[in-house]
Amino acid sequence: MDYKKGTRSTSTSKLQREENPWILGSPEMDNSCRSSSVPILCFLFFLFFYLLILCFRDGMNTVFMNTVLVISSSWENSDFNSTHVLFPTQITTSHEARAVAVSENSTLKTPPIINEVGNLSEAQVLEQGLARARAAIRAVASNGTRNASSSPFISTVDIHRNAAAFHQSYLEMERRFKVFVYEEGEPPLVHDGPCKSIYSSEGRFIHELEFGKTAFRTMDPQQAHVYFLPFSVTKMVTYIYDPKTRNRSTLHSFISDYIHVVSSKYGFWNRSQGADHFMLSCHDWAPWASETSSQLYNNSIRVLCNANTSEGFDPRKDVSLPEINLIGGHISPKLLTALPEVYPRPYLVFFAGGVHGPIRPILLQHWKDKGDNDIRVFEYLPKGLDYYSFMLQSKFCLCPSGYEVASPRIVEAIHAECVPVIISDYYVLPFSDVFRWEKFSVEVSVVDIPRLKEILSSISEEEYRMLKEGVRAVKMHFTLNQPPKRFDMFHMILHSIWLRRLNVRLQ
């Protein structure tokens, strides 16, 4: 398979070492070493061994570097001392979506100063920078020293798990985070993606990272914290999948070949077993496509719209990507119009959508054409009625899963300031490591679909007002801007990847 010969940076300049770099307590440190008189022979032996290490240090780092994931409790609990250290190949999936927080194996109160001998490698400097970021976030999360409310981007509405920790983490990301995009491959399968469809989240991210002016991209792979595999599963389905034979093996072959090319040309994939690499896709088949490589599936960060834990999505290392339908390349102007604080919403509930997947038939069976003016549920919206107008006139918008768990209605509902009602099994909601979705949405189990009106009618006016305030507050984080703006969807996706990278430590 032919690939574009990407140009790799030949810069050999070292990253500047920051003053007083911090390190966290390492289990490899041997406290039994004490100062004592040493025989000359032993002294010469240790001196020789030390010089040998200096000579071959970089090579040894490549050979003996291990990758671990540090998984801790959520920011909401602020328990940054309880951690589990797992090798990526031992990660198991979980049906419980847990917030990902950042931590280490020990509590850092007074950062020790490293007595540096010789120059640190660029990889070591990057890891020390990440250690400082972890410590700063942990300190703010535990004592709330940073006044997050002073930032115009951090809502005073209670929608965050820990607003101070999120604010500090975002600032650390802006200060440090660098992404390297592999240049191998040719469009349309690589370096391209859909921008005017239900899979637009995929294309817009690829295009912004590839062709935008984001400061997060670096052309020097030695300076990168993560490495992006810029292939598009959606484009593969369009161009190399044969619907007549229904043979999807061509997707596996392409991804396998691509990983082989970049891992052979560069050493970064093999160094971390793929744990500091990420793929991104909004196509339904993306989880299946990632199974082509056990390291991609088990170790790498998979940014997926189809964030289904029953299909192997792991919220500890994977990222839930918001699904957004950009027909014509943009959100409907009706949803972008600023709404007044008080806006008439005569309908309690609205939904319109086709019958596919296991949940929607149940919904339509119970609520379609029931003659209830409060519950406006349609399979196909009659001519003359406008989909977005119904959203703007409804208090709650139903967001049931189809064949896959994600639904673009969630983002549409947020922009219409219509409280989303999530009806899904095994779905990890986007940015749930930062936001408390119960503060701006309602979750209804599938078995409770017959009780929809009862459940939503029981929500008091004050509770509804708080939910709507939460929707209004979170809207900016689910908005795609061109060019991107701070704290918008593009940057929130990057922040989710940043959090997962903080949980990977190269040793």
Q: Convert the pLDDT of each residue in 438-466 to its tens digit.
A: 999 999 999 999 999 999 999 999 999 99
238 vs 71 pLDDT, higher one? 238
CB 55 within 8 A of CB 162: no
Buried b / exposed e over 212-240, threshold 16 CB at 10 Å, is beeebbbeebbbbbbbbbbbbbbbbbeee
pLDDT at 438: 98
Which domains, ranges and CATH numbers included, belong to the chain?
1-6+40-330+484-507 (no CATH), 332-478 (3.40.50.2000)
d(CA 29, CA 74): 28
Give the number of C-alpha atoms closer than 13 A to the C-alpha of residue 400, restricted to the C-beta side: 27
- Can you give the pTM of this predicted structure? 0.79
18 vs 407 pLDDT, higher one? 407
d(CA 68, CA 272): 9
* pLDDT per position as a tens digit, 28-80: 322 333 333 334 444 455 555 555 544 444 333 332 233 333 323 334 333 33
**pLDDT class for 329, splitting at 50, 70, 90?**
confident
The mean per-residue pLDDT over the stretch 277-294 comes to 98
pLDDT at 52: 52
52 vs 283 pLDDT, higher one? 283
d(CA 262, CA 296): 13
Whether residue 177 is predicted with pLDDT greater than 60 in this model: the reply is yes
Place of tokens 């994931």: 69
Show the beta-strand stretches assigned E in 230-355: 277-281, 301-304, 319-320, 347-352
d(CA 32, CA 23): 19
71: which 2 tokens?
Answer: 């998984």
pLDDT at 343: 83
d(CA 407, CA 351): 12
Average pLDDT of the chain, as a whole number: 80
pLDDT at 151: 66
The mean per-residue pLDDT over the stretch 312-324 comes to 98
pLDDT at 63: 26
Buried b / exposed e over 48-74, threshold 16 CB at 10 Å, is eeeeeeeeeeeeeeeeeeebbbbbbbb
Neighbouring C-beta atoms of residue 161, cutoff 10 Å: 20
Lowest mean pLDDT among 91-100, 158-167, 168-177: 91-100
| Angle, in degrees to the nearest 10, between helices 122-143 and 489-502 | 100
Lowest mean pLDDT among 149-158, 367-376, 402-411: 149-158
pLDDT at 40: 46
**pLDDT class for 250, splitting at 50, 70, 90?**
very high
3-state secondary structure of 242: strand
